[in-house]
Structure 1
Amino acid sequence: MTSSSKTAPARFKDLCLDARDHQALADWWCAAMGYVRREGEGPAGEPVAIVDAAGGGPLIWVCPVPEGKVVKNRMHIDVYGDVERLRGLGARVVAEPDVEKGVPWHVMQDPEGNEFCVFVPPAA
């Protein structure tokens, strides 16, 4: 038995999202997801932590980086939401649903081009 098999598996902690204008993108995701900035934020050049105001979602760090997004995300966020509301906030639709191919979601990009998928909320 190796030492790695004796330890607990990794478990989910936070999400991190890179952004050229991390302050503006943190505000965008707050508006889009009903999140708020976590109290006690550090200096302007430091990552911004945003949290679900209702207490249900994961903590998201919006981290400053000098470069813009160039290629497709290798990992992305899936959300339940209203495509038109998100579009009104500045998101862009990059792929429409294709139910015939088993794709019932929209693929969108936030204002800095990070892809995320939007699903119709489940019936209440």
Structure 2
Amino acid sequence: MVAFQLTIDCADPEAQARFWADALRYRIEAAPDGFPTWREYWLSVGVPEEELGKGDCCDSIVDPAGEGPRIWFQQVPEGKVVKNRLHLDVKVGGERAEVPLETRRERVEAEAGRLVAAGASRLRVLAEPGVDHYGVVMRDPEGNEFCVA
């Protein structure tokens, strides 16, 4: 197995980390042992204060079960301009062979509603007559597209 981290460029890493921790049911990654905050850790290894932005520098999330990848939100100066070349799919509906389409639709809609309350916005529904699929395309608080299916 190859270990990897997913890195997402953004304007406000702490806000994105909080949103995605909620969306994916991850948790904010704790600062290294001996440091009450990530800011204090980064300062201790020589990262200049002006590079740290605001807050405690809580800019990464981890899967509490240790199965999914670590996700780091990297602050960048430029804003999002075009459609993502990579996006996350939040899978909540269940498997086609095991869960009826109507139940999957209800689960997807419930999750989409929860994520709207957390700061996401809906773009469009992915459903066509005769196709055994239901999903919702959404945007996170900074406009990055993702799907709930």
> What TM-score results when the alignment is normalised by the length of structure 1?
0.77
Alpha-carbon distance, 1:105 to partner: 1.3
Check if 1:58 corresponds to 2:69.
Answer: yes
2:113 equivalent in structure 1: 84
Alpha-carbon distance, 1:110 to partner: 0.2
**Deviates most, 43-52 or 77-86:** 43-52
Distance 1:101 1:20, change over 3 A: farther
Report 1 or 2 for greater relative contact order, CA contacts < 8 Å, sequence distance ≥ 6.
2
Whole-Å Cα distance in 1 between the matches of residues 68 and 90 of structure 2? 11
> What TM-score results when the alignment is normalised by the length of structure 2?
0.65
Per-residue CA deviation, residues 55-107 of structure 1 (Å, 9 max, x unaligned), is 22211011101111110001111112411101111111111122327452111
Alpha-carbon distance, 1:11 to partner: 4.4
Runs of at least 4 residues of structure 1 off by over 3 A? 42-47
1:32 equivalent in structure 2: 23
CA-based RMSD of the aligned residues comes to: 2.2
1:114 equivalent in structure 2: 144
Whole-Å Cα distance in 2 between the matches of residues 116 and 69 of structure 1? 14
Unaligned 5+ runs, structure 2: 32-37, 43-51, 93-110
Check if 1:100 corresponds to 2:129.
Answer: yes
Unaligned 5+ runs, structure 1: 1-9, 120-124
Q: Name the % identity.
A: 42
Contact 2:11 2:79 in 1 (8 A): yes
Question: Of the two, which has the highest radius of gyration?
Answer: 2
Contact 2:28 2:58 in 1 (8 A): no
Contact 1:47 1:63 in 2 (8 A): no
**Deviates most, 33-42 or 95-104:** 95-104
**What are the equivalent positions in structure 2 for 1:7-22 lying under 5 Å apart?**
11=2, 13-22=4-13
